[in-house]
Amino acid sequence: MPSALPRLSSLVLGSAVLAGLLSGCGPLAVTDVYDLHFTPGPAGQDVDARTLLTRQVVPADRLVSLREAFERAPEGALILTCWKDTDITNFWGPCSHVTRKYKAGQVMETYNYSRPRAGAYPESVEYRYYAAIVLDAGVRPDMLPRLWEAAHRLDGRFYSLSSEPDALYCSTYQNILQRAVNLPDAVPTHPAWGLAVPADALKVPGVKVLWVGVNDHSPAPYADGPSN
């Protein structure tokens, strides 16, 4: 008879992360950053993606409002969204979700059980976050037809958070789109968890921060219900 231990361990893992699933797609992660307060620094400099969350200083000409960051993001750009702080429903760290600019006013993503099907959504679903970090993950205009073709093949697929190869949550969804245009994964697999933690998008070699958008009126994670 097959062992019940793998199934039991999956249930335990599912229970551990369930409390956080309603405020982002990301699983529990190893992080030393528990709150964010981006401040302007000297203009005209590049943003160091790897130290952005720890230093939290953004060149003044790259720091905009959250909505402006979505407006300025080029089609196909990856966007890491972050709460201002960390609490019991958001204990993996503030940056818990990754989405992608589809077209004006729309994003392409899968989120969590509050909107569990992959597809295009109005960008307004992201407006409750504190920050939107717009990333150049290598997508060029000539790649967009293949990128969106791959996205539409996934339309309607259900959200699933697990370490199974075909699991579809926010990070793995964006990785599938990257692979469709022969680019490296947008979010690497965390070695300790075997899952793709959204904030690790900032650790991918060559990734560039285009804009950091801030919403000073963002509520605490899950304060008024899930972000949907």
Whether the predicted pLDDT of 222 surpasses 60? no
In this prediction, residue 116 has a pLDDT band, given cuts at 50, 70 and 90, of confident
Whether the predicted pLDDT of 3 surpasses 60? no
DSSP-assigned states of every residue in the chain: ---SHHHHHHHHHHHHHHTTGGG-S------S--B---EEE-SS----GGGHHHH-EEEGGGEEEHHHHHHHSPTT-EEEEE-SB--TTSTT-SEEEEEEEEETTEEEE---TTS-B-EEEEGGGGTTSSEEEEEE-S--GGGHHHHHHHHHHTTTPBP--SSSTT---HHHHHHHHHHHTT---SSPBPTTTSSB-GGGGGGSTT-EEEEEEE-TTPPPTTBTB---
Give the pLDDT confidence score for residue 187 in this predicted structure: 96
Average pLDDT over residues 23-41: 75
Q: Tens of pLDDT along 67-104?
A: 999 999 999 999 999 999 887 666 667 998 999 999 99
Whether the predicted pLDDT of 12 surpasses 70? no
Of 15-24, 191-200, 210-219, the poorest mean pLDDT is in 15-24
What the block records as the tokens of 35 is 């709150």
- From 73, 224, 212, 32, select the one nearest 132 (Cα to Cα): 212
Give the pLDDT confidence score for residue 206 in this predicted structure: 94
Higher pLDDT, 221 or 59: 59
Q: What is the CATH number of domain 28-35+47-214?
A: 3.90.1720
Domain boundaries along the sequence of the chain: 28-35+47-214
- Distance, in Å, from the CA atom of 78 to the CA atom of 196, rounded to the nearest integer, reads 15
| Strand pairing category for 63-65 and 208-214 | parallel
